[in-house]
A and B are shown apart, each in its own frame.
Chain A
Amino acid sequence: MSNVEIDREKIVSELIHFFQTEFPNPGIELTRTSDLPSLFLIDSLRVLTTVIHLEQQFGISLVESDINADIFQNIESLTNFVLTKLSTT
C-alpha cells in the first residue's frame, strides 16, 4: 500500500468519525458513497462546521468556491478534495 493510500484511509476514517459524532443520524449507515448533502449537510451551519473542522484537522484553507455539491457529495469526494489540497500546500 502506498503512502497516498495510507493517507487516504486515514482521512476517510477520520471524516466518517467526524460526521457520525458531529451530526448523528440514527438508522443511517455512513459509507464512503453516502449522499452527504441530503443526509448530513442539510443546512448551512453544518457545512460551516465541516469547513472549520477540515481547516483545523488537516491544516488546509478553504475558499468560498469550494462549497459545492461536487466536493461535499460524499466521503470519497471530500477525501479527494483534502488530498488535493494537501498536495498543493
Chain B
Amino acid sequence: MSFLGQKQPTWEQQEQNDSQVNWGVVVAVIGLLFIYAYLFTHVADWVNLPRPQEMAEHFGIENEKIFDRDKNVDSEMFISSTRQFNSDDERLILFAIISCAFLSAYFLPLRFKKGSLFIWFLIGMGVLYGIRTTTCLLFAHWIVYLVLHVPRPSLKIPFGFLAGVFACISFAETGDLWIKNTAVLAGWGVGLCLLFNLIVWPAMRFNLIARGLRTLVIQSALITVGVGAIWQGIQGEAWKLPLGILLFFWHWERLMLYHVDYKSGRMPKEISPIAYLSIFLTPASLPNWKWGVTIGQGYTYLENNFYCQDKNRLAIEGIKIWGIALIYLVFNDVIRYGLISLFEFFKIEVYGARITRMVSHYVAGGEVTTSSVLATTILDQIRWMMLWGGSVHFKTGIWRVCGYQMDPYFNKPWLSTNLVTYWTRFTFHYREFLVRCFYYPVFFKYFKNNIILRVTLATFAAVTVGNLVWGHVTEGMFYHGMYFHNFAEVLKTWPYFVLLTLGITVTELYLFWMKSTRKPWTLDRFWFTDFIAMYCTIQFYCIIHVFAKPSSGATLTDCTKLFLIGFGIRVD
C-alpha cells in the first residue's frame, strides 16, 4: 500500500497491460466464483452435487456455526434493503453479474471496459432492486453529473430531457394507458429540460451560484439528514426516502472525494456521462451496499489504479483477496465463538464479544472486572472486523478482477505499532476520505508556523468533526431512520472521537520528534517492544469504543467509570 497512490498510467501503458490473455487466470476467477456460488447458494442442487454441509460431513467436518438450515454456508454477504428474491437467489444473481462483468472487463477493448462494468451494474441492480429504484439512483447521480459537468450546448437539451425521463420513472404514478404514460414521460422530460436550460445552467454562470449548487448536490445526504432530524423533532414525523435516493446517499463520502478531485483541478471539467457513472455505479457496489462504502474513493484514485499493471496480475491479486474473504465469510462465527470459549475457560466474562451487553450489565448494577473490559472491547472489534472482512475484501476483489489495483480496506491492522499506522491499516479508504476532505484543508491553511497547533487542529478536524458528523451521524441516521433521537444519540458518543483525536495527535507529534532508525517487526532484541506497542495501540483503540457503543440508559458517567475500570481504576 502506498500512501501517495499510483502515478496515472498512460493509454499506451494501459493497452500494454491489457495485451496478454491468460486462460488459466480466467478459469481461476470463474472457478472461484463458482465455489462462492456453491457455498452460499442453491447451485449444488442444480448441478447435482452434495450440498456444502453434506460434503463437509463426508470429510468428517461438523460445525453448526458454519451451515444454515438449508445446508449451505450461512453468510453475511447479502443484498441490502431489498426483498425481490430470497438471499440465496440474490447471491446467485450477484455472482452471475460479477462473472459477466469480469469477462467483459477482461476481453473487451480498453475503451469499452469501464462502460461494460456500468452496464453490468445496471442489469444487476435492475434485477435485484427493480427498475424504479435503479432509475431513481441513476436520476440522483445524473443531477450531480449535470451540475458538476455542465454539458456542451448541443447536449443540453437531450441531457436535460433525460433527467426528466429518469425523474418520471422514479417518482411519477404510472397509469394503464401507454399513451397517457408517454405523455406524462414527455411532460417530465420537457419540464426538467426547461428547468436546467432556462434556470439552472444560466444561473451557474455566476460563480457563487455554481459553487453553491455543486456543494448542495454533493452535501445533499448530510443536508437531508440534518433537516430530516430537525423536522422529525418538531413535527414528530420521520421522513421516508425512496430506496434509490437512500442508496445514492450512501455514496456521500465518495461524492465528497470526487468533489475534492474536481475542485483541485486534478480531473477534466468535461467528462462523458459513462466516465462519471462508472466511478460510482459498478458491480462492486452491489453486495452489502452499506458496508465499506468508501472503497474506490473518488476520481483520481480510480484513474490512477485502472490497468496500472498487467490485468492477469490484477486478477490474481483479486483471487487472493477473495480467498481471504472466503475464510472470513465461512469461519467468522467459528473463530468468534472459539475466542469467547477460550476466555470463558479462563473465567473471563466477555459478554458474547459485545460491548453493548457489557455496558448493559454494568448499568444494571452488575460487577465488571478489568480483564473483562479489556477482553470484551478487543473481542468486539475482532467480531466487527471479521464480520466486515468478508464483505469488504470481496468488494475489493471485484474491483481487482475488473482491472483496478484496489487497496484493501483492512491491511493486517495487527501489525500496527502506533495509532497513526493503525488508522491507515484498519480502514484505509475511510481514512483517506477523512484525510483528504478534512485533514489536508486545515493542515495546508492554518498555523503553518506552529507544528503542534497545525497537527492538532488538522487531526481534530478529521478525527472529531469529519468522523463524527460526516461519518457516524449520517451513517447512523441512514441505518436507524431520520429521527432527532438518533441524531442526538450519535452526538452523545463524542468522547470516543475526542479520545481518538488525542491519541492520534500525541502519536503524530511523538513520531515527528522521535526519529526511529529501526523498522517495526525486525527480528532483533526489540521485537518484544513491537509486540507491546502493538497490544497497547489496539487495546487503546478498542477500549475507547466503550463510549462509541453505549447501551440505552447508559450515561456518560457510566461509560467513563467502565473505561477507567479497564485501566484498573474504580470510581464509586
Contact = CB atoms under 8 A, between A and B. Distances in A.
A24 to B, nearest CB: 5
B152 interface: no
B2 interface: yes
B231 to A, nearest CB: 35
A52 B451 contact: yes
Nearest to A71: B4
B137 to A, nearest CB: 30
Contacts of B441: 64
B451 to A, nearest CB: 7
Contacts, number: 61
B83 interface: no
A64 B266 CA distance: 11
Interface string A67-83: 11110110000000000
A37 B443 contact: no
Contacts of A64: 260, 264, 436, 440-441, 444
Interface string B504-537: 0000100110010100000000000000000000
A67 B266 CA distance: 11
Given A43-B424, A62-B444, A69 B7 contact: yes
B180 interface: no
Given A55-B448, A69-B304, A49 B512 contact: yes
Interface in A9-28: 21-22, 24, 26
Contacts of B5: 37, 68-69
B421 interface: yes
Given A64-B441, A65-B264, A65-B266, A45 B511 contact: yes
Interface in B382-423: 420-421
A86 interface: no
A43 B516 CA distance: 15
A2 interface: no
Contacts of B444: 62-64
Contacts of A52: 451
Contacts of A43: 3, 420-421, 424
A24 B265 contact: no
B420 to A, nearest CB: 5
B6 interface: yes
A37 B443 CA distance: 20
B168 interface: no
Nearest to A43: B3
Contacts of A73: 7
17 contacts: A37-B2, A41-B3, A42-B3, A43-B420, A44-B3, A44-B420, A44-B435, A45-B420, A45-B512, A46-B3, A47-B4, A48-B443, A52-B451, A64-B441, A65-B265, A69-B2, A69-B7
Q: Which 7 pairs of residues, A with B, have the shortest CB-CB distance? A: A65-B264, A64-B440, A37-B4, A69-B7, A37-B2, A69-B4, A24-B517
